[in-house]
Chain A
Amino acid sequence: MLKLENLTKRYNTGDLALQGIDLSIPNGQVLALIGPSGAGKSTLIRCINRLVEPTNGSAILNEVNLTKLSSRALRKSRRKMGMIFQEYALVERLTVMENVLSGRLGYVGFWKSFLRRFPKKDVNEAFRLLDRVGLLEMADKRADELSGGQRQRVGICRALIQDPDLLLVDEPTASLDPKTSRQIMRLINELCQERGLTAIINIHDVLLAQMFSQRIVGLALGNIVYDGSPEGLTPEVLTKIYGEEDWSATIEKVDDEDAEV
């Protein structure tokens, strides 16, 4: 259970990015966060694992108030929050395996990680995850040799090897082509189902959000303006989130056949 209470962020520039967000997400729910650029989607998920320090309010994950933690305790809590990034954010000059294993850094001591002597259990898990996403034979390649879709899969493995309770996903498909986008979204969705993971997925693409999530939250100017089912996204709602536009092409009915593609 993740609970946000009055979560507020004001940047040093004075911009109020989040205006007191209240949101509670039950375990196992995959939630899509939609909204225009600058609505505060990235800020919201970064305030949860405190890559951005919230100005006010609290984020409570499984009874732990993340906003109150000391830096040491925060590091420990971050291990339980996997994050997937827009531009993959792999360490380009490290190998795929090193990138995946870097997900275990919170569990492994400095010298062990410096010398790349990860526990056998972690290495086995890394191989298993790479196999699951179809990249087993790429383990020894450098991250910058992979294609966009492959890199995002490595990013997913890095997040999952943390053995997280919560996935924070920041625009996972923004740099990918439409087909790869769907594949990546489906993969994230499947993995969440397999492991019963809670996930918050920031996404621009309204159709993808509808296809792959159980609940949609619309954010505009740091406020929640919609919270409901994917089917409830009517032109009026989209106008409320994004502003006036012709939405007839965006909310084509998502039928099951389409979701199978």
Chain B
Amino acid sequence: MVVIKKQDELVWKKRTTREQWINWFYWLIGISIVLFAWKIISDKTVWFFVQDAPRQAADIGSRMVPPKWSYSLELIKPVWDTINIATLGTVIAMIIAVPVAFCAARNTTPHSTVRIVALFIIVASRSVNSLIWALMLVFILGPGVLAGTVAIGLRSIGFCAKLIYESIEEIDANQVEAVKATGASNLQQMIYGIIPQVLPTIAGVGIYRWDINIRESTILGLVGAGGIGLQLNGSINTLAWTQVSTILLVILATVFVSEWVSAKVRGAII
């Protein structure tokens, strides 16, 4: 912000002329980088395939219709597995995430070393995608629903714990202070002063993660960790396109229902 005095008048501008030029210069650099990167990508693209893309898409599209509706009966079991993977995974994650969150929050952690360990758990869990967790767990636990459930659980701990501990750090300290002033012990302060304040967040985060996990668990079958992804992978490999379209429609319907359920539950909590 600059205020310049011109004769008797005060003139106000956001930037000085010099700052304005520097600003333009940064824009110039930014745009140049974008154009340069664009050129590299363009050079490495085989344009013949891209020109062919609409025809290929139309071809696959035409092979996909009509979906093989009878196949959907075979999908009931995998869909049920998928929902179970997501639900159990979320429950496991929340059971671990809540204590981790209390250890990670500055105002509730028992010790700063414990806090560092808790933060490490959160980062470690978040840094690995659930598909990669699943890939490793299929080797350790063998293929199937268990590997998928544990993968979803491990992946979700960090996500849930992070959101919960941030909400613990934002609680109203006055309410806790008031409980403390009555002579309450630390644990009593927690159950009377802190938990009531973060309970809506804990419930909301759990539902939100469950909603995400439904979508994530549809893909775990690709690496053999159970659920509908197994059928999807099989159908694509055997070029059974009508089955693929059926599976995609079933996944769409499942996600749709889970969105609806979580919206309802979230509305009821808050």
Flag whether B238 is at the interface (Cβ < 8 A). Answer: no
Contacts of A75 in B (CB 8 A): 183-185
Min CB–CB distance A150 → chain B (angstroms): 16
Flag whether A103 is at the interface (Cβ < 8 A). Answer: yes
Chain B 188-203, CB within 8 Å of chain A: the 1/0 string? 1001110011011000
In contact, A158 and B182 (Cβ under 8 angstroms): yes
Min CB–CB distance B61 → chain A (angstroms): 52
Residue of A nearest to B174 (CB): A89
In contact, A90 and B191 (Cβ under 8 angstroms): no
Contacts of B199 in A (CB 8 A): 93
A102 touching B174 in the complex, CB below 8 Å, given contacts A94-B196, A113-B192: no
In contact, A102 and B183 (Cβ under 8 angstroms): no
Min CB–CB distance B190 → chain A (angstroms): 10
Cα–Cα distance between A77 and B182 once the two chains are bound (Å): 9
A106 touching B175 in the complex, CB below 8 Å, given contacts A91-B197, A92-B197: no
In contact, B174 and A85 (Cβ under 8 angstroms): yes
- Within the complex, which residue of B174, B175, B179, B196 is in contact with A105, where a contact is CB–CB below 8 Å? B179
In contact, B185 and A110 (Cβ under 8 angstroms): yes
Flag whether A33 is at the interface (Cβ < 8 A). Answer: no
A78 touching B175 in the complex, CB below 8 Å, given contacts A91-B197, A110-B187: no
Contacts of A79 in B (CB 8 A): 182-183
In contact, A78 and B197 (Cβ under 8 angstroms): no
Contacts of A32 in B (CB 8 A): none
Residue of B nearest to A94 (CB): B196
Cα–Cα distance between A90 and B196 once the two chains are bound (Å): 11
Contacts of A90 in B (CB 8 A): 175, 178
Residue of B nearest to A110 (CB): B187
Flag whether A83 is at the interface (Cβ < 8 A). Answer: yes
Interface residues of A in 40-70 (CB under 8 A from B): 49, 51
In contact, A105 and B188 (Cβ under 8 angstroms): yes
Cα–Cα distance between A92 and B188 once the two chains are bound (Å): 16
Min CB–CB distance A113 → chain B (angstroms): 6
A94 touching B188 in the complex, CB below 8 Å, given contacts A79-B182, A85-B174: no
Contacts of B197 in A (CB 8 A): 91-93
Flag whether A2 is at the interface (Cβ < 8 A). Answer: no
- How many residues on A have C-beta within 8 angstroms of the other chain's C-beta atoms? 32
Interface residues of A in 86-114 (CB under 8 A from B): 87, 89-94, 98, 102-107, 110, 113-114
Contacts of A91 in B (CB 8 A): 175, 178-179, 192-193, 196-197
Residue of B nearest to A79 (CB): B183
Flag whether B180 is at the interface (Cβ < 8 A). Answer: yes
Cα–Cα distance between A106 and B184 once the two chains are bound (Å): 5
Flag whether A162 is at the interface (Cβ < 8 A). Answer: yes
Interface residues of B in 25-67 (CB under 8 A from A): none
Flag whether B170 is at the interface (Cβ < 8 A). Answer: no
Flag whether A81 is at the interface (Cβ < 8 A). Answer: yes
Cα–Cα distance between A83 and B191 once the two chains are bound (Å): 20
A89 touching B184 in the complex, CB below 8 Å, given contacts A94-B196, A113-B192, A114-B191: no
Cα–Cα distance between A106 and B192 once the two chains are bound (Å): 12
Interface residues of B in 146-197 (CB under 8 A from A): 172, 174-175, 177-185, 187-188, 191-193, 196-197
Contacts of B193 in A (CB 8 A): 91
In contact, B183 and A162 (Cβ under 8 angstroms): yes
Contacts of B178 in A (CB 8 A): 83, 85, 89-91, 155, 158
Residue of B nearest to A76 (CB): B183
- Within the complex, which residue of B181, B187, B196, B200 is in contact with A78, where a contact is CB–CB below 8 Å? B181
Contacts of A82 in B (CB 8 A): 182
In contact, A102 and B196 (Cβ under 8 angstroms): no
Cα–Cα distance between A92 and B195 once the two chains are bound (Å): 11
In contact, B183 and A78 (Cβ under 8 angstroms): yes
Contacts of A162 in B (CB 8 A): 182-183
The 8 closest A-B pairs by CB, nearest first: A106-B183, A89-B178, A105-B184, A78-B183, A79-B183, A83-B181, A89-B174, A93-B196
Q: Interface residues, chain B, CB within 8 Å of chain A?
A: 172, 174-175, 177-185, 187-188, 191-193, 196-197, 199-200
Known: A78-B181, A106-B183, A114-B191. 10 other contacts (CB 8 A): A78-B182, A79-B182, A89-B178, A91-B175, A91-B179, A92-B172, A94-B192, A105-B179, A106-B184, A158-B182
